[in-house]
Amino acid sequence: MLTQRAIDVHGHFGRYDRGPAGLIDQMMTGSIETVRERAQAVGIQYTVVSALRALMPYGGDVLRGNDDARAAAERYADVLFWAVVDPRLPETYRQAEELLTHPRCKGLKFHPVCHLYEIKQQGAALFEFANAHRALVLTHSGDPGSFPEDFIPFANQYPAVRLILAHLGNDSQGSVTRQVYAVQQTRHNNVYIDTSSARSVFSQLIEWAVGQIGVDRLLFGTDTPLYFTANQKARIEYAALDEAVKRAILWDNPAALLGIGD
């Protein structure tokens, strides 16, 4: 039985759609009610979401997706949200600036893959915007255009920006180490990793990451509804780690970063 309370820093809701409709798309689709039900079943008290509509089909509809996320957070007390920014669309900066003042918005979401840009080209503008608002940022990482190490020069340049590299172990080139090694290149302790990867279920990956960078840089995430929430939480709860370390990943670290009290 899963017992420890948790905060999920990386959730979604809505229709998963990467092109031609298929069974996988159906499986990875889930309403905000589905996301909440799966979270509540395993003791997740808050889920920070971005709407899949803001990301896909490739390019997404960022403005409407952000409106959907705000509405979900205003409807449900256990839902918080990220404001998605697409640097190709100036109007998303203006919307995000407004959303960052919302009490349930916890920061910015970047997704170079879904929005079809490379962080090396767009990172300066994105991080300058985040720095101006002292924003917490969650970004996809691990694929061409968004390799973890490519974010580090910007994180080092802007120490006031706290950056979460999503998807521990994700790498289109086959490695499981890139997020961890990227954190080791930081100068200001302002970069974190969430566990929202299918590869997080690999034996010893979570434990190895703790051994390499310590527990303070790790945050619990599920990528719900793409992955099954209970499975992602069980990987932490049954890890070969001390209970205090598990509690830090599941609650203490995300609570401190998101400003959530007891």
pLDDT category at 10 given cuts 50, 70, 90 is very high
Tokens for 17? 């759609």
pLDDT at 58: 86
Pick the CATH number of 6-258 from 3.30.428.10, 3.40.50.720, 3.20.20.140, 3.30.450.40: 3.20.20.140
User: Mean pLDDT, the chain, as a whole number?
Assistant: 96
Least confident segment among 17-21, 38-42, 83-87: 17-21
Query: Looking at residue 59, what is its pLDDT?
Result: 87
The band of 1, judged by pLDDT with boundaries at 50, 70 and 90, is low
Bridge partner residues of 194 (DSSP):
219
Q: What is the pLDDT of residues 44-103, one digit of tens each?
A: 999 999 999 999 998 899 999 999 999 999 999 999 999 999 999 999 999 999 999 999
Structure confidence at residue 2 (pLDDT): 66
pLDDT at 106 over 60: yes
Q: Three-state SS across 193-213?
A: EECCCHHHHCCCHHHHHHHHH
pLDDT digits (tens, 9 = 90+) for 179-216: 999 999 999 999 999 999 999 999 999 999 999 999 99
At 138-168, the pLDDT tens digits run 999 999 999 999 999 999 999 999 999 999 9
Output the pLDDT for position 18.
Answer: 82
Segment 215-243 mean pLDDT: 97
156 phi, psi to nearest 5 deg: -70, -35
HEC secondary structure over the chain: CCCCCEEEEEEEEECCCCCCCCHHHHHCCECHHHHHHHHHHCCEEEEEEEEHHHCCCCCCCHHHHHHHHHHHHHHCCCEEEEEECCCCCHHHHHHHHHHCCCCCEEEEEECCCCCCCCHHHHHHHHHHHHHHCCCEEEECCCCCCCCHHHHHHHHHHCCCCEEEECCCCCCCCCCCCHHHHHHCCCCCCCEEEECCCHHHHCCCHHHHHHHHHCHHHEECCCCECCCCHHHHHHHHHCCCCCHHHHHHHHHHHHHHHHCCCC
Please provide residue 128's backbone torsions phi and psi, each rounded to the nearest 5 degrees: -65, -40
CA distance 115 to 179: 21
